[in-house]
Amino acid sequence: MSDETLSNLLTEDRRFEPPADLAAAANLTAEAYDRAAADPEGFWAEQADRLTWDTRWDQVLDWSNPPFSKWFVGGRLNAAYNCVDRHVEAGRGDKVAIHWIGEPAGDTRDITYAELKDEVSRAANALIDLGVATGDRVAIYLPMIPEAIVAMLACARIGAPHTVVFGGFSSDALASRLTDCQAKVVITADGGYRRGAASALKPAVDEARAKTAATGFEVEKVLVVRRTGQDLGEQGWDDAVDVWWHDVVDGASPEHTPEAFDAEHPLYVMYTSGTTGKPKGILHTTGGYLVGCAYTHWAVFDLKPETDVYWCTADVGWVTGHSYIVYGPLANGVTQVLYEGTPETPEKGRWWQIIEDLKVSIFYTAPTAIRSFMKQGREIPDRRDMSSLRILGSVGEPINPEAYVWYRHVIGGDRTPVVDTWWQTETGSIMISPLPGVTHGKPGSAMIPIPGVSAEVVDEEGTPVPNGSGGYLVLTQPWPSMLRTIWGDDQRYVDTYWSRFRKQGYYFAGDGSKKDSDGDLWVLGRVDDVMNVSGHRLSTTEIESALVSHPKVAEAAVVGAKDEDTGQAVCAFVILRDEFRDEADDAGEGSDIVAELRGHVRKEIGPIATPRQIMIVPELPKTRSGKIMRRLLRDVAEHREIGDVTTLADSSVMELISQGLSGGSSDD
């Protein structure tokens, strides 16, 4: 919660009213807020009717055993049927579901709903042939290619929960996830295109398999999409395990009758960072999750499925890709864009070109991307005609007012509302956001909970704070797309999210927030040991464990420091083992030891976790009970005056750290 955010908050008086034409045809109107508040279950039942149920539910919510909820009790449905088949049955089979654009220029594929149905059915049949049964877990480790969506829906179709692991994660990160959810099959590709080059994926799966095998867990099959055609090497293929996608999926039958599953049947597990080193497997189930995605995608983006062309730039490896590329948009039957690569490839402005070419009308991206475009200058987007855009969305981290206004002005031509959407892996779908045709927007504020959702900002005691004050952001009522538990660890679920405000029964997932003088919410960032780097959640402990696993490292402390481009950046403080202490003498930014440690974190977790800065220090600031005082390290990392040191066990430590740094630290 930096001073800058607070001062912005104090001075922000810009308001953007909904455009008249949008307001006139808005999907929801202002009355929805009161209606939903008066009868939340009735409201959610109404939203559940967006889906096609095989068997209707008997009870909307069973909250008799909090915090374990059941939604749409007794209802049965198939998620893949809802995302694909029903649109074909309704006569919309020829409609494009996915305009896919590969990173290499000219590499494109349009997939209609009818084609998607056939492909998902083939993949479902192939998975069954590989031995996947209802309830088995399937891991998906793919680039942004249509097969990623097909694989997810094929799993959903046969009731095999998927766990998608972001393709940028390393083999270690993959291995720990495979083991935690005991994935029977992994779906991957030889590689994918990133920044103009083919980058391998399959070798990481091989490494991860070797690692899980060492702990006694064997993945049975690896299904491999040929994307780049790159050489897998001598060791790169194991006939007993590896199977080409084109060998088993292409020839499979396109007929597959979807089975209806219980509304509470597990749909997927998505791993996310928590305050301890071990990632949490967030479990989402079928009915409530799909209701949440379909409703919010329709309401928050004011979706007109017949005419809109929608594009969410997230990776399917994150929850945003799950809810707002796969389940929400496809349940709503919209046409969407899926892009494989980075915004700069082959040239800056690729995204704007795609918007112009495909006449994208709804665009959903992250503040970190917006800030990087601001830096490049408006000449690049100005070269394109983006008049097709009518709504812009932002997600993943607080969007600073300057970026919000730039986004609205330069990308949206001042016509488009910006919806700043707050939600989390755990919430499954958007919780707090303006409604573009109903409420005004205010740069920097996520505004108020959407109809059906109840949020508050409370103090330590759980008492709501008055307007103009800050506190903890909580959700006060259950909601259909809420996580059901942490995979295999109910107690951790209770402890992590429901213990802080147990008395009130509030859900708390670690964000601080302010209520401004109008009562609108400003999410200020995490209050726990979780960082948000470019909209990606990383745990400080996880990176510390990675650092400490390096043979030269004795101790490590990681903090998130404010960063102009990425929101927060990883800053690490490292104490070397005695026998390597001489390497600390010249341990500036370009030094071997810093490069070595950076490389180590990249290998252990993945490039997104690479520290921006590693400072080799002689000591770490600790309290008498041995707890590292990250607050002080954050002061150092953010170049502030060091705060109160009176609770330090040894108050000279900060001086030692500052002295040690004056020679060696970088100043980026």
- Short-list 406, 403, 393, 390, CA closest to 320: 393
Shortest CB 11 distance to ligand WTA, Å = 19
Shortest CB 12 distance to ligand WTA, Å = 15
Residue 274 CA neighbour count, 13 Å, CB half: 18
Is there binding between residue 396 and ligand WTA (CB under 6 A)? Answer: yes
Which of the stretches 159-167, 193-201, 368-376, 521-529 binds ligand WTA when contact is defined by CB under 6 A?
A: 521-529
Residues of this chain, 282-321, that bind ligand WTA according to CB under 6 A? 318-320
Q: Which is nearer to ligand WTA, 258 or 525 (CB)?
A: 525
Q: Which is nearer to ligand WTA, 510 or 611 (CB)?
A: 510
Which of residues 308, 397, 516, 544 is near ligand WTA by CB under 6 A? 397
Mapping DSSP onto H, E and C, the string for 613-666 reads EEEECCCCCEECCCCECHHHHHHHHCCCCCCCCCCECCCCHHHHHHHHHHHHCC
Shortest CB 422 distance to ligand WTA, Å = 4
Q: Which is nearer to ligand WTA, 359 or 562 (CB)?
A: 562
Angle at 351 between CA 320 and CA 446, to 5 degrees: 40
Which of residues 365, 368, 532, 613 is near ligand WTA by CB under 6 A? 532
Shortest CB 511 distance to ligand WTA, Å = 5
- What's the CA gap between 638 and 628, in Å, rounded? 17
Q: Which is nearer to ligand WTA, 117 or 442 (CB)?
A: 442
- For 31, other C-beta atoms within 10 Å of its C-beta total 10
Dihedral of CA 570/575/576/582: which sign? Answer: positive
- What's the CA gap between 382 and 390, in Å, rounded? 17
- Name residue 396's amino acid: G
- For 641, other C-beta atoms within 10 Å of its C-beta total 5
Q: Which is nearer to ligand WTA, 396 or 412 (CB)?
A: 396
Q: Which is nearer to ligand WTA, 127 or 533 (CB)?
A: 533
Residue 214 CA neighbour count, 13 Å, CB half: 9
Q: For residue 43, what is the enclosing H or E element?
A: helix 40-48
Which of residues 18, 167, 191, 398 is near ligand WTA by CB under 6 A? 398
Residue 305 CA neighbour count, 13 Å, CB half: 19
Residues of this chain, 402-461, that bind ligand WTA according to CB under 6 A? 420-425, 446
Which of residues 511, 520, 542, 544 is near ligand WTA by CB under 6 A? 511
DSSP E strands, 294-416: 309-312, 335-339, 362-365, 391-395
Shortest CB 324 distance to ligand WTA, Å = 9
Shortest CB 572 distance to ligand WTA, Å = 21
Mapping DSSP onto H, E and C, the string for 246-282 reads HHHCCCCCCCCCCCCEECCCEEEEEEECCCCCCCEEE
CB distance 384 to 352 below 8 Å? yes
Q: Which is nearer to ligand WTA, 258 or 321 (CB)?
A: 321
- Name residue 386's amino acid: M
Which of the stretches 34-42, 346-354, 522-530, 569-577 binds ligand WTA when contact is defined by CB under 6 A?
A: 522-530
Total interface residues for ligand WTA by CB under 6 A: 23
Shortest CB 137 distance to ligand WTA, Å = 20
- Name residue 346's amino acid: P
Q: Which is nearer to ligand WTA, 125 or 320 (CB)?
A: 320
In this structure, the strands spanning 261-262 and 76-77 are: antiparallel
Q: Which is nearer to ligand WTA, 103 or 397 (CB)?
A: 397
Q: Which is nearer to ligand WTA, 71 or 166 (CB)?
A: 166
- Short-list 126, 610, 667, 106, CA closest to 357: 106
Q: Which two tokens stand for residue 160?
A: 């095999």
Shortest CB 22 distance to ligand WTA, Å = 21
- What's the CA gap between 87 and 114, in Å, rounded? 8
Shortest CB 522 distance to ligand WTA, Å = 8
- Short-list 600, 608, 610, 636, CA closest to 621: 636
Residue 139 CA neighbour count, 13 Å, CB half: 30
Residues of this chain, 247-276, that bind ligand WTA according to CB under 6 A? 272
Q: Which residue is nearest to ligand WTA (CB)?
A: 425
Q: Which is nearer to ligand WTA, 130 or 524 (CB)?
A: 524
Shortest CB 394 distance to ligand WTA, Å = 6
Q: Which is nearer to ligand WTA, 423 or 493 (CB)?
A: 423
Shortest CB 318 distance to ligand WTA, Å = 6
Shortest CB 307 distance to ligand WTA, Å = 26
* Per-residue binding letters, 114-133, with ligand WTA (x by CB under 6 A): --------------------
Give the interface with ligand WTA as residue ranges (CB under 6 A): 272, 318-320, 395-398, 420-425, 446, 509-511, 523, 525-526, 532, 537
